[in-house]
Chains A and B, each alone.
Chain A
């Protein structure tokens, strides 16, 4: 059934692509139709490029047409210099566009912030200004007119048609490759939750810069061809903000974050634009209409056509299959057949490392006047299961965030495996062996469980980014980890459809993908049922036997006291007492601070 559907999707796509390829040959007199389709190709190319940074990675660019202008001007300048048509320089143009994007991205994409969208507008206007004022180089505001290539008389637009068609196919191939690779999974991870993506080893800055660079590539290619096709170039035409509007609208209306949505949207908007040109032609009316359509799309069709169709058909399907759906929502016993060596790092890797895996010294972090963590020092022994308890607001999660790099500490040091890590980015710490889960799970909501597990990047390498996300070693490993945790039946489930407890276990599994030396769990047992708690402690113990260290924040005191070898108690941002579970259980100060004077901690264990 699934294969059949996939084949049919391919057919839906293959037939139009084939028809488009044949049009100039089959209909030699279709000069006008070809010129309209060239604009369709251009819009689809641009919308697809935009989709890489803004649809997948979630960083909206409003000045993306700057990269088309870059390509046009590069082709034009080189073309004049060598006295050749501009399309000879497609590759150089692409390189210039990509490099520009990478340089700009390297400056403005380092933090998670909204300044990106602003800078994209500024870059477009700056480019216009430079092209207008750098007269000797660009011909100033009047621009440059190109001589037509000699073949135009005989062949008309047909060669241009095929040039754009090829760029169109290349763009589709690029986006398709991204959607199937771990790189693409990383982009979507950033869009869904950037902090989380960093915590599982994804170098978010690098990914975003790559996304921005790749998104500019099709523009450079198309620009060098487009300049010659137009026959002239000027700053206002090349760096046109209205063009940016068209391409944003195309991607949005078709469905951003999908492979085919922006292409569909590009054709629709280009055709609509053509109709508008024929019927009214007024630029003012056009701007007004585009504005209204953009507002309308955001208000009433925010997911775009393709996503909306998908949602509707998915709803239909799940209505039919509802019984099967409930059936699969069960968690199996952890699979003991999976060898633990496959899950964790080989034990001898720890052989000649020091006793203390993590050492926190005098760490200090405040928010305004609140000293959330006030000079905490503690050591976590290698191979231990260490508990971290304390009343609400005592600074447990903040300390976690200081250790993993979500927060910069104001003072003190964090040493992992003998190495100072407190100045490192979160993803570097993840690569050094630090894994953590969150109190409120932070899985990537728009991905299924398998994609969530494949998203973490164990070692930073370009090769790993480019591998297919659902085949090969990484995916096999993800399936093993899921099986180890007894979660195999959830492989294809959307994360949003799972219960909170299930999500907690999935997030635990996700962390294991990185083969961490130390796993930090933030309230793993809160909000999950006793059976799952049982499974969870089994998994923790098994991993611990194989050498993984655990640091656990938890309010379920009986669980902490039964599971842990050693417990630290925080209170009001300071370390109150540390010791074995027995010592903590009988420490009156702890009992009083934590639960009030009349409570005993000995009920269950």
Chain B
């Protein structure tokens, strides 16, 4: 029974991770940017959610679409203002830029909200589904369902909209896409904005499920980056598999050895990379010499 509890709980955690890491994976896949600031965007969204909830009492989940949209436009601005200018210098500079942005966010959150743990306690926060021996917290179930829903929405949008196709085209062949009239700058900004929107949505879910303070963005980004390394950089299905693996290993860790959980996950990553250096679904793309 304990095993089933671990598996189901792990899947629930994995659902939320899937949403969070898919944004990161998208940004990497299309832009070749290791977006270290993703964790900071996530925690920032959690703080904004918390502040609105605290001062108005509005149900956080209602805020989710709104915050996602605001984060989308914030993402557009950050890409256009900063990344677009640094992008030509290659991934080793964009990762440093992104690191700088993360620090700016962390510093601002510290100054605005203080360096303390915050959490949202609702009427449903402490309840759980009790199915005989399997106990599932409401918040966890809600967060996973919402996350999977958002993820499916994003997937359908990327698959069937013109913008989504343009984006995938850019990811596969930037120059080719440019030749058929897809502006690389526009689709890059769009990809970054979508990625940022997932962090906005994820932040709301984070706010109702975990306590957080500004510096927790390091832990989050380390987990999310770990997921995409494990799954294979830039692969969306890979990110989902990585998320589920992290979810289950966390659930198992929480049950058996809580303080070593994340270390266990990192060991899984190192072991995977030992045998498969490009990650589970890592793509070997055609990088032509000519």
Contact = CB atoms under 8 A, between A and B. Distances in A.
B225 A113 contact: no
A113 B277 contact: yes
B229 A133 contact: no
| 10 closest cross-chain pairs (CB), A and B | A288-B107, A291-B103, A294-B100, A284-B110, A291-B104, A439-B290, A295-B100, A287-B107, A118-B225, A111-B277
A288 B286 CA distance: 40
Most buried by A among B95, B105, B263, B290: B290
A591 interface: no
Contacts of B247: none
Interface string A276-293: 000000011111111111
A245 B103 contact: yes
B273 A288 contact: no
Interface residues of A, number: 55
Contacts of B228: 118
B225 A122 contact: yes
A442 B289 CA distance: 8
Contacts of B89: 302
Contact of B110 (A111, A132, A287, A406): A287
22 contacts: A60-B92, A60-B95, A107-B274, A108-B270, A110-B277, A111-B278, A114-B32, A115-B229, A115-B233, A115-B279, A117-B36, A118-B226, A133-B260, A284-B107, A284-B110, A284-B111, A288-B103, A288-B104, A294-B103, A298-B93, A302-B93, A440-B289
Contact of A287 (B36, B106, B225, B284): B106
Given A287-B107, A288-B103, 18 more contacts: A54-B92, A115-B273, A117-B34, A118-B34, A119-B273, A121-B225, A125-B222, A129-B263, A248-B99, A284-B111, A287-B110, A288-B104, A288-B107, A288-B108, A288-B110, A291-B102, A294-B100, A298-B86
Interface of A: 54, 58-60, 62, 107-108, 110-111, 113-115, 117-119, 121-122, 125-126, 129-130, 132-133, 195, 241, 245, 248, 252, 283-295, 297-299, 302, 367, 397, 401, 406, 408, 438-440, 442, 522
Interface string B267-282: 0011001100111000
Given A62-B95, A114-B91, A119-B229, A291 B290 contact: no
A133 B226 contact: no
A110 B99 CA distance: 25
B82 A299 contact: yes
B130 interface: no
A522 B290 CA distance: 9
Given A113-B277, A248-B99, A288-B103, A118 B289 contact: no
Interface in B239-273: 259-260, 262-263, 266, 269-270, 273
A592 to B, nearest CB: 25
A125 B100 CA distance: 18
A126 B262 contact: yes
A292 B104 contact: yes
Nearest to B260: A133
A114 B221 contact: no
Contacts of B102: 291
A59 B95 CA distance: 11
Interface of B: 28, 32, 34, 36, 82, 85-86, 89, 91-93, 95-97, 99-108, 110-111, 115, 218-219, 221-222, 225-226, 228-229, 233, 259-260, 262-263, 266, 269-270, 273-274, 277-279, 284, 286-290
B246 to A, nearest CB: 12
A54 B284 CA distance: 24
A60 B115 contact: no
A283 to B, nearest CB: 8
Most buried by B among A195, A241, A294: A294
A171 B92 CA distance: 24
Contacts of A132: 259
Given A129-B259, A302-B86, A302-B89, A107 B270 contact: yes
A285 B106 CA distance: 10
A214 B95 CA distance: 23
B219 A248 contact: no
Dominant secondary structure at the A interface: helix
Contact of A117 (B82, B95, B105, B266): B95
A58 B92 CA distance: 7
Contacts of B287: 195
B290 A438 contact: yes
A122 B269 contact: yes
Contacts of A133: 259-260
Contact of B104 (A195, A295, A439): A295
Contacts of A195: 287, 289
A114 B228 CA distance: 11
Most buried by B among A54, A110, A126, A438: A126
Contacts of A113: 233, 277-278
Contact of B85 (A62, A108, A126, A299): A299
Nearest to B94: A298
Nearest to A123: B266
A130 B107 CA distance: 27
A338 B36 CA distance: 55
Contact of A288 (B111, B221, B277, B279): B111
Given A245-B99, A288-B104, A294-B99, A126 B229 contact: no
Given A60-B92, A252-B96, A118 B277 contact: no
Contacts of A122: 222, 225-226, 266, 269
Contacts of A115: 229, 233, 273, 279
B107 A367 contact: no
Contacts of B225: 118, 121-122
A121 B86 CA distance: 22
Contacts of B108: 288
Nearest to B289: A438
Contacts of A302: 86, 89, 93
Contacts of B101: 291, 295
B220 to A, nearest CB: 11
Contacts of A439: 289-290
B224 to A, nearest CB: 9
Nearest to A191: B92
A438 B288 CA distance: 10
Nearest to B90: A58
Given A115-B229, A291-B101, A248 B270 contact: no
A284 B105 CA distance: 10
A286 B274 CA distance: 39
Contacts of A286: 107
B260 A114 contact: no
Given A107-B273, A299-B82, A291 B106 contact: yes
Most buried by B among A118, A292, A522: A118
B248 to A, nearest CB: 18
B86 A290 contact: no
Most buried by B among A59, A290, A291: A291
B112 to A, nearest CB: 9
Contacts of A107: 270, 273-274
B289 to A, nearest CB: 5
Contacts of A59: 92
Contacts of B273: 107-108, 115, 119
Given A62-B99, A291-B102, A294-B103, A125 B262 contact: yes
B221 A121 contact: yes
A59 B34 CA distance: 13
Contacts of A397: 288-290
A295 B82 contact: yes
A111 B107 CA distance: 35
Contacts of A108: 270, 273, 277
Contacts of A442: 289
